[in-house]
């Protein structure tokens, strides 16, 4: 179904209010195509009717689905593997350091990034106090992260020793999938939270992964997100960005120690 300029603006405003993401006018067709099944499912004859639905009190659930449809969730285990190797090597020399170690996968999507961090931390700090928090704006993605049921084909990206140690093959109705074991799951917690208005995450971390999400925001919002993140990073803690997302401007208090990896230093 075609979308008018007015309808695109209405829905784009809702997206901006909810996520901070504002689509360029050239994305109108993409919006219409991502929403076509939702219009059908809700018997909406026009995008305006759909807009009325998601902005009404009865449309709260559909609003969650709208957010999910309009955000990009691409992710996979050990994405940019070199960063996980760096994480391992960096903390290997510090295994005697104080615990707990707290890590945050900010924009965790369906959980692959958080569980990848968890496998590395368990390898490093087995039996000790470490945790991984995953947050994402999409309630659907957060539910999938909690469930941790992944297609078997995606396990190929997990280093063999971790696959053997932490992954469990699904059987019967879970044939063709795998999950991570209880030891890993018990260290991981997932919440819905908005990087621009964090409510759940009000503590600080030693490790933060903020990858492949800044690209969706304008410069002002990127700065607001980075401020929120740096505020929650302990001194000496590490910030990992996606490979196309290095900080454009030098930032006081953050020292670049590897491409796209920063350490928080005292001023
Ligand atoms: C492309 S995925 C990145 C996943 C993972 N970090 C990675 O690099 O593989 C981007 C994620 O950012 C989430 N996101 C978008 N806007 C957000 C916001 N304002 N607050 C929190 N998460 C957001 C999306 O829902 C999506 O799951």
Q: How far apart are CA 230 and CA 243, in angstroms?
A: 18
Structure tokens at 148: 């941790």
The pLDDT of residue 229: 95
The class of domain 81-264 in CATH terms is: alpha beta
**Is residue 62 within 6 Å of ligand 1 at its C-beta?**
no
Is 16 part of any known ligand binding site?
no
Q: How far apart are CA 221 and CA 157, in angstroms?
A: 32
Just give the CATH number of 5-70.
1.10.155.10
Give the mutation target among 137, 191, 261 for probing the ligand 1 site: most ligand atoms within 8 A of CB.
137
CB-neighbour burial class of residue 88 (10 A; exposed 0-12, middle 13-18, buried 19+): middle
Residues of the chain with CATH 3.40.50.150: 81-264
- Which residue, judged by its Cα, is nearest atom 3 of ligand 1? 212
The pLDDT of residue 94: 79
The pLDDT of residue 170: 95
87-132 pLDDT per residue, tens: 999 999 876 666 789 999 999 999 999 999 999 999 999 988 999 9
Give the mutation target among 23, 34, 104, 136 for probing the ligand 1 site: most ligand atoms within 8 A of CB.
136
Q: Which of the residue ranges 12-21, 141-150, 246-255 would you say has the lowest mean pLDDT?
A: 246-255
| 66 Cα to the center of ligand 1, angstroms | 15
30-62 pLDDT per residue, tens: 999 999 999 999 999 999 999 999 999 999 999
**Is residue 109 within 6 Å of ligand 1 at its C-beta?**
yes
135-167 pLDDT per residue, tens: 999 999 999 999 999 999 999 999 999 999 999
Is 13 part of any known ligand binding site?
no
The mean predicted confidence, pLDDT, of the chain is: 94
The pLDDT of residue 96: 66
Ligand 1 closest atom vs CA 242: 8
């Amino acid at each position: 179904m075609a979308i008018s300029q007015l309808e695109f603006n209405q829905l784009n405003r809702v997206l901006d209010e909810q996520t901070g993401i504002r689509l360029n006018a050239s994305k109108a067709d993409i919006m219409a195509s991502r929403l076509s099944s939702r219009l059908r499912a809700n018997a909406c004859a026009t995008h305006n009717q759909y807009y009325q639905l998601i902005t009404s009190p009865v449309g709260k659930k559909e609003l969650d689905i709208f957010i999910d449809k309009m955000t990009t969730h691409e992710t996979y285990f050990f994405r940019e593997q070199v960063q996980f190797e760096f994480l391992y090597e960096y903390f290997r020399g510090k295994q005697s350091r104080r615990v707990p170690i707290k890590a945050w996968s900010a924009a965790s999507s369906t959980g692959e990034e958080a569980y990848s961090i968890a496998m590395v931390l368990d390898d490093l700090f087995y039996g000790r106090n470490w945790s991984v928090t995953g947050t994402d704006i999409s309630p659907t993605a957060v539910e999938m992260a909690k469930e941790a049921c992944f297609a078997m084909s995606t396990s190929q990206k997990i280093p063999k020793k971790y696959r053997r140690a932490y992954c469990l093959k699904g059987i019967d109705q879970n044939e063709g999938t795998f999950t991570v074991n209880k030891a890993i799951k018990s260290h991981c917690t997932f919440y819905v939270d908005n990087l621009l208005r964090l409510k759940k995450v009000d503590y600080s971390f030693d490790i933060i992964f903020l990858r492949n999400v800044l690209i969706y925001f304008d410069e002002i919002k990127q700065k607001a997100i980075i401020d929120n993140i740096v505020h929650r990073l302990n001194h000496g803690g590490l910030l990992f960005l996606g490979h196309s997302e290095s900080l454009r401007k030098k930032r006081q208090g953050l020292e670049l120690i590897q491409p796209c990896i920063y350490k928080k230093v005292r001023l």
